[in-house]
């Protein structure tokens, strides 16, 4: 079968013919229809992610498709089921083997492209805001990188949880996307004075930061007493250094959050979260935003969209022909 393969660290993936997978006990083979791209895919290829994949490997951490084959003693799913799932790697291939326990059935009315970009971005924002930061109705939430893959879902989920949402993003076009997702206040991240702008809005209770760098530092100083700051990622390339004296004086809490860690040590929490998110999607309470759906041979273009931060919402790679 065809798959994108990384053979050397910091070298672009190449299309290659690889051996088709065989499912072990409790596993299934899924015919992949679409794959959601994440900033973590790019970091893994560059050798900068917290998990290093043994070479050679097939990138791709979330996907949708159709169950094609069951391994021995595999129950709870059936051949032909449309499913979505996450994985540590391997999705950018025509077929993938995964444990049946990681699968979620795609709800009616949700296409494969939308489903492929759903679990990581929505799962990250839901667990970070509802479980870790315990965002409450009436609180003010700041989302940095608010038009990106995870940022846009944080805007949606923040509104769903009853917060007043301040969205920070680059330029009018990206801010318009955040506004359409429910943001109450818009701040151009290219404009100076983020701290002053946030203080003019009365400060914030929770910060959802996927950017890092100066934005985190300024948001820290505009966070109200007893506020919580979520470190989601560092798209700016700069990891903030947090001054403990500011935390002490304002009784602030800085919270690290990595979705992949929860998939490993608390899969039950992840499963419950995804069940609720898919219910919200089925009820029309959240509206996933796929900015680009590219062909299987256009992976380099998709990764470049992530690298240059030109996409809003999700970038998805079509592997099959389904919608």
Whether residues 68 and 25 fall in one domain: yes
Whether residues 175 and 238 fall in one domain: yes
Whether residues 113 and 142 fall in one domain: no
Whether residues 297 and 193 fall in one domain: no
Please state, in angstroms and rounded to a whole number, the distance separating the CA atoms of residues 146 and 187: 10
Whether residues 153 and 252 fall in one domain: yes
Contact 84, 106 (CB under 8 A): yes
Closest to 120 measured CA to CA, from 102, 134, 135: 102
Judge whether 310 lies within some domain: yes
Backbone torsions φ then ψ of 318, nearest 5 degrees: -80, 130
Could you tell me the two tokens for 130?
């509802």
Residue 312 lies in domain: 2-118+288-318
Judge whether 266 lies within some domain: no
pLDDT tens-digit map of 255-270? 999 998 998 899 999 9
Per-residue confidence of the chain (323 residues) as pLDDT tens digits? 999 999 998 899 999 999 999 999 999 999 999 999 999 999 999 988 888 899 999 999 999 999 999 999 999 999 999 999 999 999 999 999 999 999 999 999 999 999 999 999 999 999 999 999 999 999 999 999 999 999 999 999 999 999 999 999 999 999 999 999 999 999 999 999 999 999 999 999 999 999 999 999 999 999 999 999 999 988 877 888 999 999 999 999 999 999 989 988 999 999 999 999 999 999 999 999 998 999 999 999 999 999 888 888 999 999 976 55
Is 76 strand, coil or helix? Answer: coil
Judge whether 89 lies within some domain: yes
Please state, in angstroms and rounded to a whole number, the distance separating the CA atoms of residues 138 and 104: 32
pTM of the model: 0.94
| pLDDT at position 322 | 57
Whether residues 89 and 154 fall in one domain: no
Whether residues 58 and 137 fall in one domain: no
Pairing of the two strands 290-294 and 2-5: unpaired
Count of domains observed in the chain: 2
* DSSP β-bridge partners for residue 67: 30
Residue 243 makes CB contacts below 8 A (sequence gap 6+) with 220
Query: E strands, 82-177, where?
Result: 82-86, 95-99, 104-105, 140-144, 164-169
């Amino acid at each position: 079968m065809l798959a994108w393969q990384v053979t050397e660290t910091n070298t672009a993936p190449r299309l290659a013919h690889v051996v088709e997978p065989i499912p072990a006990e409790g596993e299934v083979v899924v015919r992949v229809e679409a794959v959601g791209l994440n900033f973590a895919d790019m970091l893994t290829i560059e050798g900068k992610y917290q998990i290093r994949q043994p070479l050679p490997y097939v990138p791709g951490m979330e996907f949708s498709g159709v169950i094609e084959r069951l391994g021995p003693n595999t129950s709870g799913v059936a051949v032909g089921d449309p499913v979505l799932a996450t994985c540590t790697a391997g999705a950018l291939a025509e077929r993938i083997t995964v444990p049946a326990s990681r699968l979620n059935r795609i709800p009616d009315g949700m296409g494969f492209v939308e489903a492929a970009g759903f679990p990581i971005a929505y799962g990250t924002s839901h667990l970070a805001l509802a479980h870790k930061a315990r965002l409450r109705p009436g609180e003010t939430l700041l989302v940095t990188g608010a038009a990106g893959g995870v940022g846009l879902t944080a805007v949606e989920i923040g509104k769903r949880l009853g917060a007043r949402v301040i969205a920070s993003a680059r330029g009018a076009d990206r801010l318009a996307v955040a506004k359409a997702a429910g943001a109450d206040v818009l701040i151009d991240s290219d404009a100076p004075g983020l701290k002053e702008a946030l203080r003019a809005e009365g400060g914030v209770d929770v910060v959802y930061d996927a950017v890092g760098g100066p934005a985190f530092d300024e948001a820290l100083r505009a966070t109200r007493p007893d506020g919580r700051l979520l470190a989601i990622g560092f798209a700016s390339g700069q990891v903030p250094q947090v001054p403990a004296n500011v935390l002490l004086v304002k009784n602030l809490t800085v919270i690290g959050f990595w979705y992949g860690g929860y998939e490993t040590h608390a899969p039950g929490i992840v499963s419950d979260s995804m069940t609720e998110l898919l219910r919200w999607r089925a009820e029309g309470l959240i509206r996933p935003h796929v900015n680009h759906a590219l062909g299987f041979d256009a992976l380099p273009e998709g990764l470049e969209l992530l690298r240059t931060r030109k996409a809003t919402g999700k970038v998805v790679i079509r592997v099959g022909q389904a919608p």
